[in-house]
Structure 1
Amino acid sequence: MADSAPDRYVLLLVPSAIRCQCRCVVSHRAGRTDSRLAARCAAVASVGAAVIHFAMSPTHWNDWMPSGVFFAAIAAFQLVWGLLAWWRANGLLLVAGVAANVGSAALWVMSRTVGAPFGPHAGEPEAVEAAGISVLLLQCYVVMGAGWALYRRCRAEEVSAIGRSLVLLGATSIMAVAVTVGLASGLQGHHHGVEAEAGHGPTTDEHLGDHHDEEPTAPGEGAGAQTFDHHSESSVVPGIVVVQPPAAPAAPPAPDDGGHQHDHHD
């Protein structure tokens, strides 16, 4: 019975040694596992979201200074997080990335549905633009990649070099497209509210000016004589004398019984 005690300790130590050796192997191959690959995809998406946030910061700064500060801060965080996650993604860094991007995405959804909780446009839903959608998709990509890296840390499996290259190429392509669309939409201007401003048509004076150009008057016309619009041949305007070519001399008027004479050439 006394000899069984050392054997019992050996049986307890062997599994622990095997687990430690497995962890060392996983740590040594961390760059070739799917968890590491997921973290790098999340890092690429985070850098893309940071680029769009940096580009939109001046517009939000002009709209409301605290909003511009927030955009610059979240952009700086996403950029630094992406660089760190690419080289060394530990558990704390992954959790921080998930929490920050979930909070940012939730704030964007709130501002487009019920309006921002504070600020000059509080309670007014903002317009949904391509820039915001691009950032939202990239942040969701960060959350999924970081979450997968956390989940697979203890279940990591080796990924081939071709597989890593294809996945990273796809992630970079998606990020480039999202950033291009987001910048193209965001640089056109940031609009608050769900209704766009109505366009203004030409004024009445401009419209009339196209059809009522002044024409030179003939010599000998009175100051009150005016020309008619060439579009209105049969128009008769009271109080305006129509100038006609000189007619042949008329016969002397016959005397009227009432002492009144009528001139038919006025």
Structure 2
Amino acid sequence: MSSDPHLHAHDSSVHAPHLHGDEPRAAGFSWGLLLGLIGAVGICWLGATGQLSLYIHPRYNLFTLVMAGFGIIACLAAWAVRARSGGRGRAWGAAAAAIAMVLALFVVPPATLSSSTAQNRSPAAGVDPAEITRLAGADPSSFTLRDWAALVDDPGSVAAYAGQQVTLTGFVTPVDGDDVDVFYLARFVVTCCTVDARPVAVPVALPDWADQHKADQWVRITGRMVPAQNAPGEAVLMLQPAEITPIDQPDQPYEY
């Protein structure tokens, strides 16, 4: 059977473009690299403005900033040499994530952990024996809120510390059960980062305290430790205030 040479020529011209995959493709925008770059720059910005310690323990600041610096260099280098790609399937989602990250890191101010978090993580979690041992024989005038939070649950503290004058700083946290005569003076202790932060608290005896103070309000309390009466949990000591002064949140709200 004879064949028409003109037909074959036509077929070849139609199908040829589909037989070759070496045509250049439009370079796709790397949203993943952009997100990584924003995150690394945001960490450096938090470090430069002194806010990185609101997220991690200060002993990790230098390491985190060095790694963020390497991250910036790596993102820029990867952007320069990355393979050309035309994929755009996730552009809208990645763009939204990038905008959200910019807002979270650069626009919305960092928020410290609150009284509701303290209640959810149980500020009256019991005595840490290691803390009691560490404080034995030390000068009580140097004790922090973290120290007293361990001592108020220790049965031996009544004989050793009842009557001790103290000045402590923390934020107001309600006691479970809506106790109108006792509230917690609380702070968070950060071991690694705020995700693992644990609350420490000292019960404060003040009738109708909610008429004078609001939850999350930062205060400085001067008073003395007294044997506990109707205190929450297993507390054997509580703070009887002589003066309560509202203050601004400290630049460093956490203990370490």
Please give the TM-score of this superposition, normalised by the length of structure 2.
0.31
Work out which of the two has the higher radius of gyration on C-alpha atoms and give 1 or 2.
Answer: 1
Q: Which has the higher helix share?
A: 1
Highest RCO, 1 vs 2 (Cα 8 Å, sep ≥ 6): 1
- Normalization by structure 1: what TM-score? 0.30
